[in-house]
Amino acid sequence: MFSKNIVLVGFMGSGKTTISRQIAQHLGCPVCSLDDMIEQEEGASISRIFTEKGEAYFRQVEYRVAQKAAKEKGVVIDCGGGIVLNPDNITVLKKNGIVFFLDADERSVFERVKDQTHRPLLNVPDPLARIKELIGVRRPLYQRAADHIILTSGDQWKTACDQILKLAGVA
């Protein structure tokens, strides 16, 4: 068994949720989804939190749940795509966690999210342009946060779980 957490960061649609479940199933450990924790704490969906209280409020709740999740041991932490916007989130998650940046290109992200409606930041007339803009800003932040970078464009995501288990020393 491992005592460190496996922390997945990356843009929306980079495969965090699918891959965190695969890892957890393999290790028989829990997944800690920060988005789920936020929704539970607020008793509202992420879309509703954004609409009714705004993004700044959402980021405060995200900070609080990141502090809470970082106290866990031996879990997989599935972070929302904006976790890197506050460097304090990464500092605390790294205390007992290995951070993996799931790096998917803009086109792959677009293909995966284009028919979904639950991500308020992408509910815009030109989601591909928004994806490009946000990834442009965030990629350096993900890179800085990462202990390891795992490529998840196209079909690459299929080998991500194995790579992460090996790099975390738990394969």
Counting beta carbons within 10 angstroms of the beta carbon of residue 136, is it exposed (0 to 12), middle (13 to 18) or buried (19 or more)?
exposed
Q: State which of residues 8, 61, 70, 81 lies at the interface with ligand S3P (CB under 6 A).
A: 81
Q: Does 46 bind ligand S3P (CB under 6 A)?
A: yes
Which of 72, 27, 28 has the alpha carbon at shortest distance from 162? 27
Rounded CA-CA distance 110/88 in Å is 29
The type of residue at 116 is Q
Beta carbon nearer to ligand S3P, 55 or 170: 55
Q: Is 97 in the site for ligand S3P (CB under 6 A)?
A: no
Residue 120 engages ligand S3P in binding (rule: CB under 6 A): yes
Q: Are 12 and 130 in contact (CB under 8 A)?
A: no
Q: Does 12 sit near ligand S3P (CB under 6 A)?
A: yes
Would you count residue 35 as binding ligand S3P (CB under 6 A)? yes
Residue from the set 119, 130, 132, 139 that interacts with ligand S3P by CB under 6 A: 119
Q: Exposed (0-12), middle (13-18) or buried (19+): which is 2, by Cβ within 10 Å?
A: middle
Choose the stretch contacting ligand S3P; rule: CB under 6 A; options: 79-87, 124-132, 147-155, 158-166: 79-87
Choose the stretch contacting ligand S3P; rule: CB under 6 A; options: 21-29, 75-83, 91-99, 160-168.
75-83
80 is a contact residue toward ligand S3P (CB under 6 A): yes
- What b/e readout covers 143-158, taking b as 16+ CB neighbours within 10 angstroms? eebbeeebbbbeebbe
Residues that bind ligand S3P (CB under 6 A): 12, 16, 35, 46, 80-82, 119-121
